[in-house]
Amino acid sequence: MERRTIGAAALEVGAIGLGCMPMSWAYSSSQQRGDRSLRTVHTALDAGSTLLDTADMYGPFTNELLIGRVLRQRRHDAFVSTKVGLLAGDQHVVANGRPGYVKRACDASLRRLQTDVIDLYQLHRADPEVPVEETWGAMAELVSAGKVRALGLCAVGARAARRAGPAGGGRSGAERAGGKRAAPADLYEQTIRQLERVQQVFPVSAVQAELSVWSPEALVRLLPWCTARGVGFLAAMPLGNGFLTGTLTPGQGFEPDDVRARHPRFTAEMMAANQPIVAGLRRIAERHGPGATPAGVALAWVLAQGPHVVAVPGAKREEWAAQNAGAASLRLSPYDLAEIAQLPPARGSWD
């Protein structure tokens, strides 16, 4: 698989990684099976998808434990990315960016992952009660201690921006007093402000944010910010929570614990309305011959957005991990890209 470098430290990973969250969190718990998940991770590594993306809150904790079982055998084959800063309860998720907690959480992640160093440690969400510089400074100390190689920041998306309000990680009293909810066009403004602040404390190696054919908002300002500074971009949900694979049927329904059961784009009406996007991807796949799929085209589009972009599709089955990895060799023509640019925008959003 093509290798890509991210960040000033020139960290090298496969162009397509593996999002491990669906194996333990947020997607149809009845389909989450440990042995199959282990085989999926091994399949991804065999195919060159070296970046394994997890987090302590996935499960919580069980996702890191799962990845640790693989790392015990294949640590040298993997690039480990995990996250800190969110605590998952039964009915809610809260941020914790206190320096002492960050350091304890890192030690716990190292134990679960069965490794002595985390390749990329990402701040999952800034704590509105703690200046983000303090949280980032604690993470930088973990680099100095040899427990972490590089640091990354997860972007604040639409739902998180709504939950967090305007605070965004220790913002000033004047900013809090403004009290206005960010408009859709400004959703990544909060993230960019955080990035500017933490960059003054310790270099940012990567930013993780949603990027896909049906969610291209990061292309406007966030991705250019990363490009201008040599910061890697990890494209989360590049398959649109599975919709862009073309394997989901409008009205099929989702299990209550599946995040798509509450997602406005996954109502029967909106899934039907967005079928022209999948149809467009399928037309392009057919031009590329047998083996090409709508999912492969969607991933190839993400990779075409820049040499520092790494796609991180989630998967919980071996065949999906292998198919996703194969998309790294698919090259879209200028005609293909122009056709994708003309697809209708997705309907349905959190706003």
Return the pLDDT at 223. 97
Return the pLDDT at 264. 87
Contact by Cβ (8 Å): 348, 267: yes
Q: Please check the confidence at residue 115 and state whether its pLDDT lies above 50.
A: yes
Return the pLDDT at 181. 35
3 phi/psi in degrees, rounded to 5? -105, 145
What is the pLDDT averaged over residues 303-312? Answer: 98
Q: Considering just the CA atoms, what is the radius of gyration of the chain in Å?
A: 19
Q: Please check the confidence at residue 26 and state whether its pLDDT lies above 60.
A: no
Report percent pLDDT > 90 for the chain: 75
- What token pair was written down for 82? 């995990």
Q: What residues have CB less than 8 Å from 166, skipping those under 6 apart?
A: 175, 176, 178, 179, 180, 181, 182, 190
Confidence band, pLDDT 50/70/90 cuts, at residue 33:
low
Q: Which residue has the higher pLDDT, 92 or 247?
A: 247
Q: Is 58 part of the annotated catalytic residue set? A: yes
Return the pLDDT at 184. 47
Pure H helices in 132-290 = 132-144, 158-164, 173-178, 189-199, 222-229, 268-273, 275-287
Q: What is the largest CA-CA distance in the chain?
A: 58
Return the pLDDT at 29. 57
Return the pLDDT at 186. 58
Return the pLDDT at 218. 95
What is the pLDDT averaged over residues 239-262? Answer: 83
Q: pTM of the full predicted structure? A: 0.90
What is the pLDDT averaged over residues 276-291? Answer: 96
**What pairs with residue 86 in β-bridges?**
95
Q: Please check the confidence at residue 216 and state whether its pLDDT lies above 50.
A: yes
Quote the strand ranges of the chain, DSSP E: 3-6, 11-14, 18-19, 51-53, 79-84, 86-88, 93-95, 118-123, 148-154, 206-210, 232-236, 309-312
Q: Please check the confidence at residue 322 and state whether its pLDDT lies above 70.
A: yes
Return the pLDDT at 46. 98
Return the pLDDT at 118. 98
Q: What is the DSSP string of 165-200?
A: TT--SS--HHHHHH-PPPPGGGTTHHHHHHHHHHHT
| 173-205 pLDDT per residue, tens | 333 233 333 444 457 999 999 999 999 999 999
Contact by Cβ (8 Å): 112, 68: yes
Q: Which residue has the higher pLDDT, 261 or 314?
A: 314
Given the residues 27, 58, 121, 188, the one annotated as active site = 58
Return the pLDDT at 273. 94
Return the pLDDT at 14. 98
Contact by Cβ (8 Å): 178, 166: yes
Confidence band, pLDDT 50/70/90 cuts, at residue 311:
very high
Return the pLDDT at 266. 86
